[in-house]
Amino acid sequence: MPLSPERPMSSAVSSDRRSGASPMVATTALATVMAVSVVQVATAAVLPALSRTLGLADWQAGAVTSLSAVVVVLTSRSWGRAADRRGPLPVVLTGAAAGVASTLMLAAVVAAEALPPGIAWAVLLVARGVIFGVAAAAVGPAVQAFLVAGADDVRRVAWIARGGAARGVGTAVGAGLAAGLGAVAVALPVLAAAAVLAAAAVGFGGAVRRRGIPGPEAGWTDPPPDRAPELPPARGVSLRGPAIRGALVSSAAVFLALSLVQSTVGFLVQDRYALAAERATALTGTLLLMAGLGSVLAQGVLVPRLAWPPRRWMLVGGIVIVPVLVVYALPVPAPVLMAVALLFGAGVGAAAAGCTAAAAAAVGPETQGDVAGVVNAVNAGTFMLGPLVGTTAYGLHPTLPALGAVAAGLTLFVARRFVP
């Protein structure tokens, strides 16, 4: 039966043993997902102003983000399958270590200041592109597979929404770090994000070693501290069914809209309001913070409480996304832009929860890691395409990325028709 609206998240965690989660392990797993988002958003907020300070073109900053997405597209499904076979712990810790390493390298570029543009760009491509791409590819699918394996459809939506809410909290925290610390020094939010991810990974590893990890359909037993559980090989996910194809295309539409906006908003606020690098970073961080809060509201509160089917959440998200993007394209004052960011985040959060849950419902519990990797790769593909298209389009006219995001949002209404 559906989770009761009056029950707190921790109670839901402890009572839903079919999710494979004890309260401590589930909480620290979600905290690690959150921490990866902290790194992603804090570094994304820094990149536009940093790239211009280093003498790089706008498209070069977009290429850094796109390379990260390429890595996720190419490796995410493999990480998901590894989580199905070996359990989440080694996958999550590998991803977290890569995330910390990437932030430290990025902070070194900020501190160096006098690096030649070519060398600086190469380091950014390796650090924020390749190495962080490993972190983004590994952590999300592993944690999602762990949380939803064996859960029924309603609980699956709730768990996916909690994962999305954790990402939303990470977006808010990362944006808050950029807004609060970026005005002091560009390197500070990057270093703070590294500390958050390191702490979360240590907490997850410690919780697993103390409590163990029950897995799909309670088929895993608590492993010894030095050994991950072995699972029989799982069949790969078939992408031929209309339900999963509709869910994936819908998810791609939502995240393409997000990537077009997120990759260009830093340039837009700097140009629209004629801001210096520090103030532009702070305002960009504030807008990302508002979007993160909207996502948390949708995925952490509304989705678990209302218990609507995935298809309805996809519709509601699209209804919110399209009109607020039209307002975003207009030369509105900064306070209005903050309200737009809040609503946009809520719309994306609602639609993304529906898309991901629809894809997960189309497969069995033994391939949840695989389908999570597929969804992660599809979403990352939009962040491979979005920043390059967005920054190039922005160079032609500042409103073009927003109009492209509107078109992507409209695609959601068509694709969701194939989802039961």
CA-based nearest residue to 158, from 312, 21, 395, 357? 357
CA-based nearest residue to 240, from 410, 363, 398, 94? 363
CA-based nearest residue to 346, from 168, 166, 197? 168
CA-based nearest residue to 89, from 12, 154, 29, 172? 29
Place of tokens 């990759």: 263
- CA gap 223, 217 in Å, rounded: 16
How high is the pLDDT of residue 213?
Answer: 58
Q: Is the pLDDT of residue 10 over 60?
A: no
Q: What is the pLDDT confidence band of residue 364, given thresholds at 50, 70 and 90?
A: low
How high is the pLDDT of residue 414?
Answer: 85
| Polymer length of the chain | 420
3-state secondary structure of 243: helix
| Residue 13 within a domain | no
How high is the pLDDT of residue 327?
Answer: 94
Q: Is the pLDDT of residue 338 over 90?
A: yes
| Residue 234 within a domain | no
Q: What is the pLDDT confidence band of residue 132, given thresholds at 50, 70 and 90?
A: very high
Mutual angle of helices 132-148 and 58-86, in 10-degree steps: 40
- CA gap 164, 11 in Å, rounded: 19
> Any alpha helices (H) in 149-276, and if so which ranges?
153-181, 187-211, 242-262, 265-272
Segment 392-398 shows an average pLDDT of: 90
| Residue 110 within a domain | yes
Q: Is the pLDDT of residue 278 over 80?
A: no
| Residue 142 within a domain | yes
| Interacting residues of 44 by C-beta distance below 8 A, sequence separation 6+ | 65, 174, 262, 263, 266, 288
Q: Is the pLDDT of residue 13 over 70?
A: no
- CA gap 196, 353 in Å, rounded: 25
| Residue 222 within a domain | no
CA-based nearest residue to 80, from 380, 412, 409? 380
- The domain total for the chain is 1
How high is the pLDDT of residue 223?
Answer: 38
Q: What is the pLDDT confidence band of residue 360, given thresholds at 50, 70 and 90?
A: confident
CA-based nearest residue to 91, from 75, 106, 107? 75
Backbone angles phi, psi at 184, to 5 degrees: -85, -55
Percentage of residues of the chain with pLDDT beyond 70: 83
| Residue 223 within a domain | no
* Buried-exposed string 77-110: b where 16+ CB fall within 10 A, e elsewhere: bbbbbbbbbbbbbebbbbbbbbbbbbbebbbebb
Segment 334-350 shows an average pLDDT of: 93
Q: Which amino acid is at 59?
A: W
Higher-scoring residue by pLDDT: 280, 123: 123
Measuring CA to CA, how many Å separate 278 from each of 79, 219, 292?
A: 37, 52, 21
How high is the pLDDT of residue 17?
Answer: 38
How high is the pLDDT of residue 3?
Answer: 34
Q: Looking at residue 164, which CATH number applies to its domain?
A: 1.20.1250.20
Percentage of residues of the chain with pLDDT beyond 90: 27
How high is the pLDDT of residue 377?
Answer: 83
Q: Cα–chain-centroid distance for residue 201?
A: 17
| Residue 56 within a domain | yes
| Residue 129 within a domain | yes
pLDDT mean across residues, the chain: 80
How high is the pLDDT of residue 315?
Answer: 92
- Which of 6-10, 25-29, 255-259 shows the lowest mean pLDDT across its residues? 6-10
Query: Structural domain of residue 328, as residue ranges?
Result: 20-217+240-418
Segment 109-136 shows an average pLDDT of: 89
Segment 386-413 shows an average pLDDT of: 90
How high is the pLDDT of residue 8?
Answer: 34
pLDDT digits (tens, 9 = 90+) for 137-174: 999 888 887 777 666 666 777 777 788 788 878 877 88
Segment 96-108 shows an average pLDDT of: 92
- Which of 1-5, 78-82, 127-131, 194-198 shows the lowest mean pLDDT across its residues? 1-5
Q: What is the 3-state secondary structure (H, E, C) of 293-323?
A: HHHHHHHHHHHHHHCCCHHHHHHHHHHHHHH
Q: Is the pLDDT of residue 95 over 50?
A: yes
Q: Is the pLDDT of residue 220 over 90?
A: no
